[in-house]
A and B are shown apart, each in its own frame.
Chain A
Amino acid sequence: MFERIIEEAPRFFTYYNLMFVLGAMWRTLLMTLVGCSIGFTVGLGLAVLRRTSAAWLRPARYAAILYVETFRRIPFLVVLFIVLYFIQPIYSGASLLAIATVAVCLMSTAFLSEIIRAGLESVPRQQMESAEVLNFHPGQTLAWVILPQAWKVILPPAVAFVVMFVKDTSLASQLGVVELTYAGKILVNKGFSPLLGFGAILAAYFILSYPLSRLGAHLETRLGTSRNT
């Protein structure tokens, strides 16, 4: 088996294959970052919505809870399939990458919303009362008092979640998105040894994921002890 690797190596480590894998890596990153950014924004909205108390927003609050609890309990693979078969008949021009990104959005919204909610809840209620009696609007309280204190509770698990999703996007290969995993399959189908093909793909994932997870660990220790700045 090692002879085969040594024999194939010159053909494998070519500029063309490198660009091919880098392109796939880019799509993996794109799905994750775009999906999780949108998920973070919408998730923040849902988390804030769930903190409101107005009676007329009650249906919206329940809808938010239902959404979060539902999508945290469905495998990403199943969500991918549902999104694919839902979008394709409506809008056949949608690219597979876009469809997969939508699925990432749906999932990350639910998970990040829970992370953000826990972060917002970590800020003592008295901080809000202080702001309230100084005539802060709820929005001002959120922006100037709660979020600046909550972000250090939110950030470490949020980064950890993004790291997890870098890996979970490998399932988008099933849709035919040429991200890293699918690229690995293509390389192997071209006749390269699976050891080389998938080995390279594992290394590529590691290169994406490891720095991010180090960042997450770093944030966790740093923000855990730092002052509130």
Chain B
Amino acid sequence: MGHLEIRNLHCSYGADDILKSVDLSVDRGEVVSLIGPSGSGKSTLLRSLIGLTPPRMGTVELDGEEINYRNRQSLRHLRDKMAIVFQQYNLFQNMNVFRNVTVAPLKIKKRDKGAVEKTATELLDRVGIGDKHQAYPDELSGGQQQRVAIARALALAPEILLLDEVTSALDPERVNEVLDVIRDLTRDGITMLIVSHEMSFVKEVSTRVAMMDAGSVVEVGPPEQIFDAPKEQRTRDFVGKILRH
């Protein structure tokens, strides 16, 4: 039994079916990257998993327990264990860095203040923002904001981390500082689902890669298989296109 079991997941946005039967099984501690052409449903899958665009059909099991996306309690339980980092960082603009990281554990989980602040300090040090606790998001560069967003997502010690194109909005010279942080996290054994266009990074950190096209997963396998010996034609086409340059 995997850490996360996705079966026959469907999701529509308005009249459009974005996800058409997604099946994917992710083991504990795995780093699974989703690749595929834009519009293939990678981001929607992540948003769907965390309940922002609830699935229309299909099941998602977390540790063998099915998530009921229509039930508030079940959704809260899910979000206690799963965190997401967005492309646009989405830090709370009205809170400083430290507050962004501590607000959920303090105010929502009502955890001990001393412990929360200690964890937050450690996390911010780890992502290299240790000297900017009092800064507001609009005073930081994109790369810095994204690293704070990662620290915020980790503050509740999630078991699963979803990373939704976290480097796509960054200036090229800022991409590596964020990738370094993520690379560091993969050593922790936290389960990760990554949507990224940084193919060499995907190749390097992923335990498995899932190729998505037209709303479903067409091929899953270790990076060597997907990038060097893809079995599906669509994977071959896509990989051929992106690796040519």
Contacting pair B50 A130 (CB below 8 A): no
* Binary per-residue interface labels of chain B (80-100) against chain A in the complex, 1 for a CB within 8 Å, 0 otherwise: 100110101011111000000
Task: Looking at the assembled complex, report how far the CB atom of B146 sits from the nearest CB atom of chain A, in whole angstroms.
Answer: 13
* Binary per-residue interface labels of chain A (97-131) against chain B in the complex, 1 for a CB within 8 Å, 0 otherwise: 00000000000000000000000000010110111
A127 to chain B: which residues have CB within 8 Å? Answer: 90, 92-93
User: B136 at the A/B interface (Cβ < 8 Å)?
Assistant: yes
> Which of the residues B76, B86, B137 comes within 8 Å of A135, measured between beta carbons?
B76
Contacting pair A228 B79 (CB below 8 A): no
B108 to chain A: which residues have CB within 8 Å? Answer: 134-136, 140
A-B contact count (CB 8 A): 56
> Which of the residues A135, A228, A229 comes within 8 Å of B104, measured between beta carbons?
A135
Residues of chain A at the chain B interface (Cβ within 8 Å): 124, 126-127, 129-136, 140, 144-145, 148-149, 227-229
B91 to chain A: which residues have CB within 8 Å? Answer: 130
Contacts A126-B90, A149-B94 given; indicate if A133 touches B79 (C-beta within 8 A): yes
Provide the bound-state CA to CA distance between A149 and B84, in Å. 22
Provide the bound-state CA to CA distance between A191 and B151, in Å. 75
B184 to chain A: which residues have CB within 8 Å? Answer: none
User: B26 at the A/B interface (Cβ < 8 Å)?
Assistant: no
**In the complex, chain B residues 9-54 whose Cβ is within 8 Å of any chain A Cβ:** 50-52
Which residue of B has the minimal Cβ distance to A141?
Answer: B92
> Which of the residues B50, B88, B92, B136 comes within 8 Å of A227, measured between beta carbons?
B136
Which residue of B has the minimal Cβ distance to A126?
Answer: B90
B93 to chain A: which residues have CB within 8 Å? Answer: 127, 149, 228
Provide the bound-state CA to CA distance between A129 and B47, in Å. 10
Task: Looking at the assembled complex, report how far the CB atom of B157 sits from the nearest CB atom of chain A, in whole angstroms.
Answer: 13
* Number of B residues with CB within 8 Å of any CB on chain A: 25
Contacts A126-B86, A135-B80 given; indicate if A145 touches B52 (C-beta within 8 A): no
User: B138 at the A/B interface (Cβ < 8 Å)?
Assistant: yes
Task: Looking at the assembled complex, report how far the CB atom of A152 sits from the nearest CB atom of chain B, in whole angstroms.
Answer: 10
Task: Looking at the assembled complex, report how far the CB atom of B154 sits from the nearest CB atom of chain A, in whole angstroms.
Answer: 12
Task: Looking at the assembled complex, report how far the CB atom of B216 sits from the nearest CB atom of chain A, in whole angstroms.
Answer: 24
> Which of the residues B52, B76, B136 comes within 8 Å of A229, measured between beta carbons?
B136
B83 to chain A: which residues have CB within 8 Å? Answer: 133-134
3 tightest A-B CB contacts, nearest first: A148-B94, A134-B104, A130-B90
Residues of chain B at the chain A interface (Cβ within 8 Å): 50-52, 76, 79-80, 83-84, 86, 88, 90-94, 103-104, 107-108, 136-139, 152, 156
Contacting pair A133 B88 (CB below 8 A): no
Task: Looking at the assembled complex, report how far the CB atom of A126 sits from the nearest CB atom of chain B, in whole angstroms.
Answer: 4
Contacting pair B90 A228 (CB below 8 A): no
Provide the bound-state CA to CA distance between A136 and B90, in Å. 15
A126 to chain B: which residues have CB within 8 Å? Answer: 86, 88, 90
A136 to chain B: which residues have CB within 8 Å? Answer: 104, 108
Q: Which of B79, B80, B94, B137: most chain A Cβ within 10 A?
A: B94
A227 to chain B: which residues have CB within 8 Å? Answer: 136, 138-139
Contacts A133-B52, A133-B83, A134-B156 given; indicate if A144 touches B90 (C-beta within 8 A): no
A135 to chain B: which residues have CB within 8 Å? Answer: 76, 79-80, 104, 108
Task: Looking at the assembled complex, report how far the CB atom of B98 sits from the nearest CB atom of chain A, in whole angstroms.
Answer: 14
Which residue of B has the minimal Cβ distance to A134?
Answer: B104
Provide the bound-state CA to CA distance between A203 and B187, in Å. 74
Provide the bound-state CA to CA distance between A227 and B88, in Å. 19
Contacting pair A129 B52 (CB below 8 A): yes
Contacting pair A144 B136 (CB below 8 A): no
Which residue of A has the minimal Cβ distance to B104?
Answer: A134
B90 to chain A: which residues have CB within 8 Å? Answer: 124, 126-127, 129-130
Task: Looking at the assembled complex, report how far the CB atom of A81 sits from the nearest CB atom of chain B, in whole angstroms.
Answer: 44
Provide the bound-state CA to CA distance between A127 and B50, in Å. 15
